[in-house]
């Protein structure tokens, strides 16, 4: 009896860095008609952000931005713990009346995650400028498209699934409104006139599904409001078997109402470092400390 011939196996094509900007290209399909005004194009050039799709490159370098954003009416700051060794990274774009920022916790060591962070950053900056920063762009919809672009870039750089909880926020300075996607459940605490509480609506982490869509949430950000976002390394800081936990983050935001964004970040990281108490001996394995990173946003009165 003749058996059917087995289908010929074709060798897998090597992944290239062109995948790093795939998400950006896909997201821009729906933004072709949103042309930037000449003054906004000039702002892009001054900020060093390319308006056109970046060409694939063999290597990309990861740039850590200034941790404090100088924005009238808004205090935005991110702080890394001194012993940064993993995949935490922060970035932001400010053009016109829109500010976009992200805080990602990419799984893996620093050597493993830096190329992924570089590709993610290369997609985030121009995509934010083109999708969200035009004044006539719908804030909610463009935020969702931005997260999709970042997700595609991240998975392309990782060449597959790579766990990466990420908080992406897009803030309109003129409206005082924050659109955000908390993909993966970064601990995010908000304090305003209604009290102190966690930001609701948590979605799937980035890096798991290429065609996953993300739903943005909207939060009014009134004068004096404060937002503090911390990565898993802060929450999991141990004292024996008891983690630092999200409740201490909430208490910290509630008990420091007059703090600046810089103060919120530095004091929460200092609290986690003071809380930490590890066993003196680790039997059979070397313990690797996770990155601890905090991001704070405070609206001026």
State pLDDT tens for residues 38-97.
555 565 555 554 444 333 344 466 666 667 887 999 999 999 987 777 889 999 999 999
CA 268 to chain centre: 19
- C-alpha Rg value of the chain to the nearest Å: 20
Q: What confidence tier does 124 reach under pLDDT thresholds 50, 70, 90?
A: very high
> What's the CA gap between 279 and 290, in Å, rounded?
16
Q: What is the DSSP string of 12-43?
A: PPPP-GGGGGHHHHHHHGGGTT-PPPHHHHHH
Show the tokens assigned to 20. Answer: 């790093």
What does pTM read for this prediction?
0.79
pLDDT per residue as tens digits for the range 264-284: 999 999 999 999 986 555 554
Contacts of 106 (CB under 8 A, 6+ apart): 86, 87, 88, 89, 113, 116, 117, 120, 154, 162, 163, 164, 207
What percent of the chain shows pLDDT beyond 90?
Answer: 63
**Residue in the block written with tokens 């690797």:** 288
pLDDT per residue as tens digits for the range 177-226: 999 999 999 999 999 999 999 999 899 999 999 989 999 999 999 999 99
| Coil, helix or strand at residue 192 | strand
Strands, E assignment, 174-243 = 177-183, 187-192, 195-198, 202-203, 217-220, 226-230, 238-239, 242-243
Q: 182's torsion region: left (phi>0), alpha (psi -120 to 50) or beta?
A: beta
Phi first, then psi: give them for residue 91, nearest 5 degrees.
-155, 160
* Type and span of the H or E element at 159: none
| Coil, helix or strand at residue 123 | helix
Please name each of the domains of the chain with its CATH number: 21-28+35-54+67-279+288-299 (3.60.40.10)
Q: Are 93 and 49 in contact (CB under 8 A)?
A: yes
**Which pLDDT belongs to residue 11?**
37
């Amino acid at each position: 009896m003749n058996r059917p011939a087995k289908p010929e196996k074709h060798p897998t094509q090597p992944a290239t860095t062109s995948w790093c900007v795939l998400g950006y290209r896909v997201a821009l399909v729906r933004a072709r008609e949103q042309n930037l005004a000449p003054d906004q194009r000039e702002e892009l050039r001054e900020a060093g952000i390319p308006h056109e799709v970046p060409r694939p490159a063999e290597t990309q370098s990861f740039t850590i931005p200034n941790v404090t954003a100088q924005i009238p009416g808004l205090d935005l700051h991110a702080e890394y713990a001194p012993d940064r060794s993993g995949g935490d990274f922060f970035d932001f774009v400010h053009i016109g009346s829109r500010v976009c920022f992200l805080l990602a916790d990419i799984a893996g060591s620093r050597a493993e995650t830096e190329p992924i962070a570089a590709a993610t950053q290369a997609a985030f900056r121009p995509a934010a400028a083109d999708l969200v920063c035009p004044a006539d762009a719908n804030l909610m919809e463009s935020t969702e498209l931005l997260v999709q672009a970042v997700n595609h870039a991240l998975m392309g750089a990782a060449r597959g699934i790579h766990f990466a909880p990420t908080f992406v926020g897009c803030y309109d300075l003129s409206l005082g409104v924050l659109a955000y996607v908390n993909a993966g459940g970064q601990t995010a605490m908000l304090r305003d006139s209604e009290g102190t509480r966690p930001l609701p609506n948590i979605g799937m982490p980035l890096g798991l599904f290429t065609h996953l869509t993300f739903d943005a949430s909207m939060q009014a950000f009134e004068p004096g409001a404060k937002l503090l976002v911390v990565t898993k390394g802060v929450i999991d800081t141990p004292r024996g078997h008891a983690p630092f936990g999200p409740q201490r983050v909430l208490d910290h935001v509630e008990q420091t109402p007059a703090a600046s964004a810089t103060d919120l970040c530095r004091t929460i990281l200092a609290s986690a470092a003071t809380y930490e108490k590890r066993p003196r001996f680790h039997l059979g394995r070397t313990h690797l400390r996770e990155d601890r990173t905090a991001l704070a946003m405070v609206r001026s009165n």
